[in-house]
Amino acid sequence: MTQIPNVYRQVVRVSYVYLGPAADRFISRQITHHLQRQPDTLQTTDLPELIDWIRLAMSFLTDDQELVNDYAHRLQALQRKPTMTKVSTPQLGNIAKAGNRTSNHAASA
C-alpha cells in the first residue's frame, strides 16, 4: 500500500476504475485546460468544478448515465475524506465495458 498525499492522486485513483490507464492523462488535461492550474495543486475546493467537467467529458464517451453518476458520486466523496489515503488495486476499465454495451445496443438498432 502506498500513501498518496494529494487530491490529484486521489482523483486519479478513483478515475482509474472507470478509465483504466488513461485516467492520469484524462484528469491531468481536465485540470490543466478547464481549471487552468497544475494537477499537483488541486484542492478539495476545486472538486465541484472538476466533477462538472468530468461529467461533461464522460457523457461524450458513454451513454451509460448510471456509470457517469456513479463516477461523479465517488469523486464527490473525496470532498468528505482526508487527503491522505491508502491505495488498493482498482478494478480496470469499467468505461470499456459500458462502451461495449452502448456499441452492442447501437449495432442491434
The pTM of this model reads 0.70
Provide the residue range defining the domain that includes 34.
3-108
Name the grid cell of 4.
498518496
Determine the Cα angle at 90 with ends 75 and 43, to 5°: 30
Report which residue type is found at 53.
W
Taking CA atoms, 83 is separated from 4, 8, 38, in Å, by 8, 9, 17
Q: What is the pLDDT of residues 50-98, one digit of tens each?
A: 999 999 999 999 999 999 999 999 999 998 865 444 444 445 555 555 5
Note the pLDDT tens digit of each residue in 3-12. Answer: 445 899 999 9
The tens digit of pLDDT for each residue in 18-53 reads: 999 999 999 999 999 999 999 999 999 999 999 999
Q: How far apart are CA 79 and CA 54, in angstroms?
A: 15
User: How many folded domains does the chain comprise?
Assistant: 1
- Residues forming beta bridges with residue 4, ordered by sequence position: 85
The confidence score (pLDDT) of residue 68 equals 96
